[in-house]
Chain A
């Protein structure tokens, strides 16, 4: 199995050309109705599945993790890997993939994690939107006061 933290199937040394198949899909959708075009878009290669697509150099230097990043890592371990997990890492990956291309690129690695964890906990009824909102406001206010 591919590891959760790895990038499955990524081949950095591969040539950087999209396959002619994708060109075919785009070509077809141009000639069709808007609805058909939308359907084609849904069927195309999903954003996270980027093995072999053009990409810049990869920074391989190890860097220290911020305390909050470590906390997010610990949270996932507690939620998804204990003896009574609340959800699976498969759901986690699904939630990250469902962020959409813009959010996927905008957020950092552990930001994607905590965003996905939050969504799943809301879906599962572990957190409520109102409860989470109030708590976030409380924490925010506390930090503002501390900063003064």
Chain B
């Protein structure tokens, strides 16, 4: 079993990637900050299994908790509602990491514009 890189309570960011094939990371979580709720075992990589390969080595899986309000800016439910999503380790990075490559196309320009307008 592949050892887990993250521990419960740790803050993580979901990679803002958009690979073209079969993945298990819901689109609405990508690029967002979450907290490791628990470790959920280690499984053959479904993104490989989906194409008839073995999926080995296995990939650690986590339950990651998100603030609903953070995922949906106009969320109308209770302010501290959360959602827990199963996410595989290769989709997660430490919350501090701010790699340019993990930013979704288009967001750089939008963020730069927002920064400019704040000044």
Contact of A15 among B22, B27, B46, B76 (CB under 8 A): B76
CB pair A24–B106 under 8 Å, yes or no, is yes
Measured CB to CB, the nearest residue on chain A to B31 is A21
Interface majority SS (helix, strand, loop, mixed), chain A: loop
Is the CB of A1 closer than 8 A to any CB of chain B? yes
CB pair A90–B50 under 8 Å, yes or no, is yes
What's the nearest-Cβ distance from chain A to residue B14, in Å? Answer: 12
Which residues on B sit within 8 Å (CB–CB) of A140? Answer: none
Is the CB of A9 closer than 8 A to any CB of chain B? yes
Assign chain B's interface to a size class: 35 or more
What's the nearest-Cβ distance from chain A to residue B1, in Å? Answer: 15
Contact of A24 among B21, B29, B61, B107 (CB under 8 A): B107
Contact of B105 among A2, A43, A93 (CB under 8 A): A43
Is the CB of A40 closer than 8 A to any CB of chain B? yes
A11 CA / B71 CA spacing, docked (Å): 11
CB pair A13–B51 under 8 Å, yes or no, is no
Measured CB to CB, the nearest residue on chain A to B104 is A21
CB pair B43–A1 under 8 Å, yes or no, is yes
What's the nearest-Cβ distance from chain B to residue A63, in Å? Answer: 27
What's the nearest-Cβ distance from chain B to residue A12, in Å? Answer: 12
Which residues on B sit within 8 Å (CB–CB) of A97? Answer: 22
In the complex, per-residue mask of A1-19: 1 if CB is within 8 Å of any chain B CB, else 0: 1100000110101110101
Measured CB to CB, the nearest residue on chain B to A24 is B106
In the complex, per-residue mask of A106-142: 1 if CB is within 8 Å of any chain B CB, else 0: 0000000000000000001000000000000000000
Q: What are the 3 A-B residue pairs with the smallest beta carbon separation, nearest first? A: A24-B106, A9-B26, A90-B49
Please list the residues of chain B having a beta carbon within 8 angstroms of any beta carbon in chain A.
16, 18, 20-22, 24, 26-29, 31, 40, 43, 46, 49-52, 55, 61, 68, 71-77, 83, 85-86, 104-107, 109-110
